[in-house]
Amino acid sequence: MQRSWAAIAIFLSVLLSAIGVLAVLTNDAVPDWVSRTSSYQAPRGASPEIPPTDIRVLSRMGAIEQVHLVASRHDRVTLVFVRDISASPDMPLQLQATVRYGRNATTLDNEGLAKARVYTGMQEYNSYLWNPPMGAPFLNRSAVAALMNTQSWAQPWWQVYNNDTAADIPENKSVNAAYNNPASLYQSPLIYTVKLENLLPNTQYFYEIEGEYSGNFTTLPMDGDHSKPLTLGMWADVGQTNVSALNMEYLLHDVNPDLVLLAGDLSYADAFQQRWDTWGRLMEPLMSHKLSLFCNADHELNVGNEQNVGYMFRYPAPFDESNSPSFEYYSFKTGPLHVIALGSYTVFNRSSVQYRWLEEELSRVDRRRTPWLLVMLHVPWYCSNFVHIGEGLLMRESMEPLLYKYGVDIVLTGHVHAYERTYPVYQNVTNPCGPVHFDLGDCR
């Protein structure tokens, strides 16, 4: 069975509005594909970060929140949720939670035990807080100085960056509080994870967490099942402004995808860790109902001292399920589609583990079952944004021949905060056998 471009319909947000791109993947076996072009246009211009006092991002004070579903395998979905007990010292510490799930919303015949983990993050008072390159400030320097000042409650010898003024904080620099300043230690909420197992394809499932929170989702088709079109919601560089929220609502209600692919840069927490929590709350309407896959990017790794920790604990990638030794690269198959996620900020040269895994993974692709082959990574290999041109070149140099050899159809990227789509291309030259590159991103 052959893939054909005639059978791909692409929802495009209009030029320069960089989000809400959707592909309906079918193949020749499905004659009644519908071509659709979205008229959606993300609002232009800077949008202020949603303040922490906004109802959409407020802590639920010990109740279940930040519920999200990660695609894992054809018969398995990972459910993640959170309890923020930071303001409830008397609440019993519950490190497990019962999740009941099933096809019948009344009987919920299956049960899973979710286990909680927490992590500590070293807060970084990044200049993105008071001087962000996108959007408007979330905190000013005085507010940051106040946050870092522990002298009213910590032992007096603990150094603080300054006492009570913003004057010492460099205008446009990141500042780490001293490691022994207790104000610099962030304690994550309880993050619970459970794998919902033995799921049937193309089936609506209902779930209930501790009898307290309920939701539903629909499983994806088996790989090789080409009986109906597969709708993908694709986005990147999401953030947490009103525009991020609008884009989320658009994906949920208008696109109504089977699967959401987020090509990196999720929350822009940038090592001010509680912004992972506000993002998780803001995205819950979409992510508690639709299956997503993610890849990690610069804002998960190295804007601030994130080092992927917040990402890794909260958005577990199905790497075990795909013979990968690292959450940074994995694969997922459904219907006519084989997705491979790669790490733009993971060593990618020919002696790297990532390269060798990719080569093996590509050799495992069965084009009869999954005629569409999509590679998701963060930093574009091709783009016309001169600020970012060249950032993806080393990875492209290393891996492009492999992708070409195995006939990858689509390379999905983000990072540049603009929408752009290439002709099929290989080594800088239009080539009908090369992949088409989609650069997505919220331009906020």
Q: Which of 65, 265, 284, 400 binds Fe ion (CB under 5 A)?
A: 265
- Based on CB atoms, which residue is closest to ligand NAG, 168 or 197? 168
Q: Give me 296's structure tokens.
A: 């990690």
Determine the interface stretch with ligand NAG among 1-9, 90-98, 103-111, 411-419 (rule: CB under 6 A): 103-111
Determine the interface stretch with Fe ion among 99-107, 291-299, 328-336, 344-352 (rule: CB under 5 A): 291-299
CB of 11 to Fe ion, least distance (A): 23
Count of residues of this chain found to bind ligand NAG when the rule CB under 6 A is applied: 26
CB of 77 to ligand NAG, least distance (A): 14
Q: Is residue 172 near ligand NAG by the rule CB under 6 A?
A: yes
Q: Is residue 147 near ligand NAG by the rule CB under 6 A?
A: no
Query: Of 28, 226, 222, 192, nearest to 94 (Cα)?
Result: 192
Q: Is residue 442 near Fe ion by the rule CB under 5 A?
A: no
Number of neighbouring beta carbons within 10 Å of residue 285: 17
- Based on CB atoms, which residue is closest to Fe ion, 141 or 415? 415
Binding mask 198-227 for ligand NAG (x = CB under 6 A): -----------------xx-----------
Q: Is residue 298 near Fe ion by the rule CB under 5 A?
A: yes
Q: Strand pairing of 175-176 and 124-125?
A: antiparallel
Determine the interface stretch with Fe ion among 7-15, 37-45, 227-235, 294-302 (rule: CB under 5 A): 294-302
Taking CB under 6 A as the criterion, which residues in 273-292 touch ligand NAG?
289
Euclidean distance between CA atoms 427 and 384, whole angstroms: 15
Q: Is residue 131 near ligand NAG by the rule CB under 6 A?
A: yes
Determine the interface stretch with ligand NAG among 2-10, 161-169, 274-282, 412-420 (rule: CB under 6 A): 161-169
First-to-last C-alpha distance (Å) of the chain: 41
**Residue position matching structure tokens 């506000």:** 278
Count of residues of this chain found to bind Fe ion when the rule CB under 5 A is applied: 4
Q: Which of 129, 261, 297, 342 binds Fe ion (CB under 5 A)?
A: 297
Euclidean distance between CA atoms 84 and 18, whole angstroms: 33
Q: Which does 131 bind (CB under 5 to 8 A by kind): ligand NAG, Fe ion, none?
A: ligand NAG
Q: Which does 265 bind (CB under 5 to 8 A by kind): Fe ion, ligand NAG, none?
A: Fe ion
Q: Is residue 349 near ligand NAG by the rule CB under 6 A?
A: yes
Q: Is residue 53 near ligand NAG by the rule CB under 6 A?
A: no
Query: Of 420, 88, 144, nearest to 271 (Cα)?
Result: 144
Determine the interface stretch with ligand NAG among 22-30, 160-168, 219-227, 265-273 (rule: CB under 6 A): 160-168
Of 253, 388, 415, 417, the catalytic one is 388
Amino acid in the structure at residue 224: G
Q: Which does 328 bind (CB under 5 to 8 A by kind): ligand NAG, Fe ion, none?
A: none
Q: Is residue 428 near ligand NAG by the rule CB under 6 A?
A: yes
Q: Is residue 347 near ligand NAG by the rule CB under 6 A?
A: yes
378 given a catalytic annotation: no
Q: Which does 385 bind (CB under 5 to 8 A by kind): ligand NAG, Fe ion, none?
A: none
What are the residues binding ligand NAG (CB under 6 A)? 48, 104, 106-107, 130-131, 140, 142-143, 162-163, 168, 171-172, 215-216, 242, 289, 347, 349-352, 393, 427-428
Query: Where on the chain is the footprint of Fe ion (CB under 5 A)?
Result: 265, 297-298, 415
The catalytic residues are: 388
